[in-house]
Structures are given as C-alpha cells and as structure tokens.
Amino acid sequence: MHRDSAVAWTGATRPRHPTAIRFRWKYRDERLSAAGRGQARIAPPDSLRLDYVATLGVKSGAGVVVGDSVQWADPEKDFRSLVPAIPMLWAALGFVPPPADTAALFGRTDAGRDAHGWTLRVVAGADTLEYVLTVGRDRVLAAQWRRAGKVVAASTTRFDASALPTTARIDLPVLTQEVNTAVREAMEGRLGLRLAGEQTADALVRGRIARYDPDVPVVIQPGVGNVNVTQRQVQLTVDVEIIDQRDGKPLWKRQGLTVTGEYQPPQEADGRKKALDKLVTEIVDGAQSQW
C-alpha cells in the first residue's frame, strides 16, 4: 500500500466537529471482567475526554487524551488498564490515527464485500497495530493491538450506515418537532401572530439543529476512585432566520445560536425544556427588534 493512500484513508475518519459519543463497554483480562457505560467528548483534531462508570456505579473514572498520550487520568491505574493502547481507544470510537512515519504499511481492498472494505496493517518495531474498516449496510471498525505477536487488546465498533455517532440521545425527528412546537407556540402566544401557509404568510421562520449535547457535566464532585456528576447541562445549537416574504430578505438571522438548560441527572427533559424556553425567547426578541 502506498503511504499517501493510507494517510488519505485514515484522514477520512478524523473527527471534524466537537462530538460526544455515548457507549457501552466490556473489559476482561486474566484477573477480572467488568462492564458499564461511558462517554467520550472529542475536540478535533486529536483530543478527547473519556468518562466511564461500571455497572451499578461500583467504580468510575475519567481521563484526558491528546494524540496518542494520556495527559491526565483518575484513577490512573484503572484508566490505563481499561485503555491499554490509545490507538485502540480512537479506533473503538470510529477514528483511525494516521500511521507513524516509521511504520511499515500493508493493505488491500476487499471488493468481495458489500460496497468497499479496507484492511490496513501497520507494523512498527515489535508492535503490530491492525485496523479493519468495512463500509456496507453496516459500518464496522475492528482493531487489534499486538505486542510481540500476542494480541493484548481488541475492539469491534458498529455504527449506523447513515452517519457516525452523534451527541443526541433523543431522536432527531422528536427533537425537531419539540423545537418547532415551542417556536410556533411562542409566536402565537407572545407575539399574537397567526399560523399561515408558506404561500400566504408575511414572514417565515426557518432553522436547523446544528448540534445537540444532552449531558455536559457542570458540577463535579471528585473522590477517591469516583467522579460524581451532580449537575448536567443540555446544550442546543441552531441556525435560525426570519424571512420577509415580500422581498425574500432576512429580517433577523442567527448562526450558531446556542442555548443551555441545567438539570439534575437523570432529568434530561427538564434541561431540554429550559433550553427550549431560552431559544424561543431569543427568537421572539429577535423578531420584536425588527418592529
């Protein structure tokens, strides 16, 4: 495989936007086995914070990764046991780090699979790092980390074919409907406007949901081997504009309008309602500013 091809392929998986990925995990070695839930908050191009908790909350922890190194972890021993190789962590989240300049590359395309598949084998000294990516009805990313020929860690991650994981735990159509309902009720109730069809309306309110993050930690109480989040926050970002139907020009426009709503876990709906209240207030104030 030519290095440029490998770099281009890995680059296509690189995170482009701040993203939060919620996941379930399982861990097993010669001494113990465990499972639980976690969340990775990714800041492009190469940084993330990983928070995890074991079943029933018996143990939890967090760590910050930049590139291929751990910058901070608590408790450090547990984090390094759960994440034996940083490239494995990135691969499990759907992102393939580019091969080092000193690595030897071997690869192939698998035309016999549904759509296209790639296998990239990176050999660097005594260590072997292997990624397998298949794109078809399902998107599967499998990875192995080997030392001296022995597999010490492995992961398989499966994503919906339409997209990589998003930050939204609530279904996007449901969230969109909630936003539409909140805006419509605010326009009718606060401004006394009447709903009309697009062809007969004096003005149009258009928008799209750019980002939805349902559980940003706000208040954290650290402890020995434990991180307790007592307050979280919903963050909703939208692009919205009010169009004058007479000339087709925007009366008011906001790109990247972000509103928040705090809540006590697990009452995410309370935080979402607070965020929606703030959103409609921003839109109503924007509309009134043009009168």
Q: What is the mean pLDDT of the chain?
A: 75
Dig out the tokens for 120 from the structure. 């990239």
The reply to whether 142 and 178 lie within a common domain is no
The reply to whether 20 and 99 lie within a common domain is yes
* Total number of domains constituting the chain: 2
Query: At a CB cut-off of 8 Å and minimum separation 6, what does 254 contact?
Result: 238, 239, 240, 241, 282, 286
The reply to whether 195 and 129 lie within a common domain is no
The reply to whether 250 and 109 lie within a common domain is no
First vs last C-alpha separation in the chain:
63
End residue of a domain, out of 160, 185, 209: 160
Per-residue pLDDT of 167-221, as tens digits, reads 334 555 667 788 888 988 888 888 888 777 767 778 888 888 888 888 777 765 5
Residue 115 CA, chain-centre distance (Å), reads 25
Per-residue pLDDT of 31-60, as tens digits, reads 778 888 889 999 888 899 999 998 877 788
The reply to whether 11 and 86 lie within a common domain is yes
The reply to whether 122 and 63 lie within a common domain is yes
β 33-43/69-74 pair status: unpaired
Question: Would you say residue 80 lies in a domain?
Answer: yes
The pLDDT of residue 164 is above 60 = no
Average pLDDT over residues 274-280: 94
pLDDT greater at residue 166 or residue 231 = 231
Question: Would you say residue 165 lies in a domain?
Answer: no
The pLDDT of residue 135 is above 60 = no
End residue of a domain, out of 110, 127, 160: 160
Residue 286: enclosing H or E segment and its boundaries? Answer: helix 268-288
Of these ranges, 129-138, 148-157, 248-257, the one predicted with the greatest mean pLDDT is 248-257
In terms of residue numbers, what domain contains 135?
Answer: 3-160
Question: Would you say residue 167 lies in a domain?
Answer: no
The reply to whether 14 and 137 lie within a common domain is yes
By C-alpha distance, which of 118, 126, 52, 137 is closest to 89? Answer: 52
The reply to whether 153 and 185 lie within a common domain is no
Per-residue pLDDT of 110-127, as tens digits, reads 433 333 445 666 676 666
End residue of a domain, out of 137, 160, 183: 160
Question: Would you say residue 166 lies in a domain?
Answer: no
Type of residue at 41 = R
Question: Would you say residue 247 lies in a domain?
Answer: yes
Per-residue pLDDT of 236-270, as tens digits, reads 989 999 888 888 888 899 998 999 999 988 788 89
pLDDT of residue 19: 83
pLDDT of residue 124: 67
By C-alpha distance, which of 139, 215, 217, 211 is closest to 172? Answer: 211
Q: What is the C-alpha separation between 130 and 259, in angstroms, rounded? A: 42
pLDDT of residue 257: 92
The reply to whether 190 and 220 lie within a common domain is yes
Q: What is the C-alpha separation between 46 and 19, in angstroms, rounded? A: 12
DSSP single-letter state for residue 17: S
Average pLDDT over residues 137-154: 66
Q: What is the CATH number of the domain that holds 221?
A: 3.30.160.150
